[in-house]
Amino acid sequence: MEYRQVGRSGLTVSAMGLGCNNFGARLSEDDTAKVVHAALDEGITFFDTAAMYGDGLSETYLGSALGPRRDEAVIATKFGAHRSPGTDQATGSRGSIIRECEAALRRLGTDRIDLYYQHYPDKHTPIEETLSALDRLVRDGKVRYIANSNVSGWQIADADHLAARGRTDRFIASQFEWNLLKRGAEAEIVPACRRFGLGMIPFFPLASGLLTGKYSAGEPFPAGTRLATSSYFAKDATEQNFATVERLRAIADEHGHTLLELAVGWLLAQDGVPSVISGATSVEQVRQGAASAARTLTHEAVDAVTAATEL
């Protein structure tokens, strides 16, 4: 397993990260432990969870599974999920952040969070207040580094400028959707991250399985898969996307790779990407993900993939 630095920081993570959104939702506590232990055994150290995953169970199960192996892991979690209308909407306020952090630490059974994300921007709270609260958590040793997620390019620039002006801790990473079927982030978010030195953490790198080859055009989605159980994800199974997948399949065959290796390897070849986060529901999927991160693409393969997926 390769290990990389996150942005302009001393935080080191594995090139393949484990997304923990299945914990407490599709996986029991026992099955979560099997997946987590397999990841650690494969050299995966980066675990990405959130307070909203499994309504808190993801953090609880992850913390329990890590147990005495906690120091082998880099735990990233998130605060600030959207709230129902009528409740306090200020998810980025000082009080909300402190409460969420304390609750996350209890669920994880740890004394610190390695990377703490603001899950979504909060239009109700000035970013200066959010940064100030996060800076306090860093100074108190409860959080090591901070990051953002689902933000725009201008928000990345704004937060960096205000952190410098206020002399608070700054975001070192940004997490956003980026894969070979969705490259829109390259218009503004990617350049902003590179300009301000944020590590880029792609989520949904496999486009909900479309980039693994498990789905075929004109065929029913396999039972139990994400596309079969969610209309939100199923909408991406378009004729255009299937055509792109077939072009990628041909490139994979030509260069001796699988589609999975192409999807992961292309992202890891992009400047500023320290880790690719992918979920797993089995030990075998963990091992496949780790193996895919180990297969570095040639420059020729990267160029071919880039050309085949440009709009």
Backbone dihedral angles phi then psi of residue 18, each to the nearest 5 degrees:
-105, 115
- Alpha carbon distance 45, 206 (integer Å): 20
Tell me if 79 sits within 8 A of 106, measured CB to CB.
Answer: no
Catalytic residues: 53
Cα dist. 51→61, 267, 294 in Å?
Answer: 12, 26, 30
Q: How many CA atoms lie within 13 A of 27 on its CB side?
A: 26
Element at 5 (helix H, strand E): strand 3-5
Nearest residue to 198 (alpha-carbon basis) of 265, 149, 132, 139: 149
Which residues fall within 8 angstroms of residue 306, CB to CB, at 6 or more apart? 266
Residue with tokens 């693994």: 212
- Alpha carbon distance 7, 193 (integer Å): 9
User: How many Cβ atoms are within 10 Å of 42's Cβ, its own excluded?
Assistant: 21
Tell me if 24 sits within 8 A of 62, measured CB to CB.
Answer: no
Please list the alpha-helical segments (H only) found in the chain. 29-41, 57-66, 94-108, 127-139, 153-166, 189-196, 226-229, 231-234, 239-255, 259-268, 283-294, 299-309
Tell me if 18 sits within 8 A of 48, measured CB to CB.
Answer: yes
